[in-house]
Copies of this chain bind each other. A is one copy, B any other.
Amino acid sequence: MARSTIADVARLAGVSVATVSRALNGNPSVDPALAERVRAAAIELQYSASPLARSLVLGRTATIAVVVPDLGNPTFQEVLRGLSLAAKAEGYHVLVADSAEAVEEERALALDTRRRTDGVVLVAPRMPDDELAALLPELAPVVLVNRRPDAVPAVGADYGAGVTALLEHLHGLGHRSFAYLAGLERSVSNAARVAAIEAFAERSAITVHRLPGGVDFDAGAASADAVLATGATAALAFNDLVAMGLMSTLQGRGVDVPGELSVVGFDDIPFAAYTSPPLTTAAVPTLRLGELAWAAMSATLGASGAAPAALGSGAREPAADAASAHPLLVPDLVVRGSSGPARR
């Protein structure tokens, strides 16, 4: 029952292992008839080369690693999915590692998985800039998601643009006083949101109450009273999860959304359309983000893989940008029922 090796095939075909290797790898220097004989022997023995041994000698594993902070987060799930499908289309495998939000573990995790693969796609929104910068050289080739230290390829969503679109939407509805439920302080994408908010506040007289927050449902639920206390007419949640938690508690308090308070999220996770009321949000094309992450990785790997894999799932993309080494996807504003005219 033991797996057959290249030596078995060589023996059966009556040739040397070198020839078997050449024949099976399509090296044109081997006589067609001989190659056929080898192939037949391989099939008879159900032989297929050991990826392990192959990797060792070739120096490539045809596998990439993906490190995410939380596999339970819909955003990272979609990125993973897009990445996984795109990589598969080019014959690559994906090793996934969930750092479980443990920032101090991310470095070791990334380094560890890197050694078993040809490269790593790192999603580490909370890792400090200096630590990240120090880590990158050891990780190369590496592609970053939602971080842009310029030194390496990166893909990301334009959080600033998304927030601005949401604010413009709300502003148009008459809102002037906002509550912002922040994400984690150290988060890069939180910083991008805050910057956009401040820029908007500067040019249109609005007031923004920044509230400490979190990234999940519970964080939103816990912030409801604080939001109401600000007297704001609209709440901008860090993401859809937070917005949903907020709305949930709000309903419990008997607060009318959007009558008394408009609530908007961010990301447009699959269920944002089915909350009550449906959530107004900025749709981040996360699946596409994963695909682009693969494209970037594939490019730096010099992968001369299979078909260029027509990547679908449209999303507004400045063509020049999507093709660059640092594509930045602009989220689409999705207006649903959770936002309405400001209460008087």
Residues of A within 8 A of B (CB): 48, 50-53, 55-56, 61, 63, 71-72, 77-78, 80-81, 84-85, 88, 93-98, 100, 113, 115-116, 217, 244, 248, 270-271, 274-277
Q: Are B84 and A71 in contact (CB under 8 A)?
A: yes
Which one of A51, A53, A271 has the greatest number of beta carbons of chain B within 10 Å? A271
CB of A253 to closest CB in B, whole Å: 16
A113 CA to B94 CA, complexed, in Å: 10
What B residues does A80 contact at CB under 8 A? 71, 96
Total copies of the chain: 2
Q: List, sorted by A's number, 25 A–B pairs whose CB atoms are closer than 8 Å.
A: A50-B56, A50-B115, A52-B52, A52-B55, A52-B61, A52-B116, A63-B116, A71-B80, A71-B81, A71-B84, A72-B77, A72-B81, A77-B77, A81-B98, A84-B98, A85-B100, A88-B97, A88-B98, A93-B97, A95-B96, A244-B274, A274-B274, A275-B275, A275-B276, A276-B277
Besides A48-B115, A52-B61, A275-B276, 19 more A-B contacts (Cβ < 8 Å) are A52-B115, A52-B116, A53-B56, A63-B116, A71-B77, A71-B80, A72-B78, A72-B270, A84-B97, A84-B98, A85-B98, A85-B100, A88-B98, A94-B95, A94-B96, A248-B274, A271-B274, A274-B276, A276-B277
What B residues does A96 contact at CB under 8 A? 80, 84, 94-96
CB of A272 to closest CB in B, whole Å: 9
A98 CA to B274 CA, complexed, in Å: 26
A115 CA to B50 CA, complexed, in Å: 7
What B residues does A55 contact at CB under 8 A? 52
What B residues does A88 contact at CB under 8 A? 97-98
What B residues does A274 contact at CB under 8 A? 244, 248, 271, 274-276
Q: Which residue of B lies closest to A66 (CB)?
A: B96
Q: Which residue of B lies closest to A116 (CB)?
A: B51
A114 CA to B44 CA, complexed, in Å: 20
A109 CA to B153 CA, complexed, in Å: 29
What B residues does A94 contact at CB under 8 A? 95-97
What B residues does A98 contact at CB under 8 A? 81, 84-85, 88
A85 CA to B56 CA, complexed, in Å: 28
Q: Are B56 and A52 in contact (CB under 8 A)?
A: yes
A46 CA to B85 CA, complexed, in Å: 35
CB of A147 to closest CB in B, whole Å: 22
CB of A71 to closest CB in B, whole Å: 4
What B residues does A95 contact at CB under 8 A? 63, 93-96
A1 CA to B88 CA, complexed, in Å: 31
CB of A275 to closest CB in B, whole Å: 6
A98 CA to B81 CA, complexed, in Å: 8
A55 CA to B88 CA, complexed, in Å: 23
A113 CA to B93 CA, complexed, in Å: 8
A97 CA to B51 CA, complexed, in Å: 16
CB of A274 to closest CB in B, whole Å: 6
Which one of A61, A116, A248 has the greatest number of beta carbons of chain B within 10 Å? A116
A23 CA to B13 CA, complexed, in Å: 43
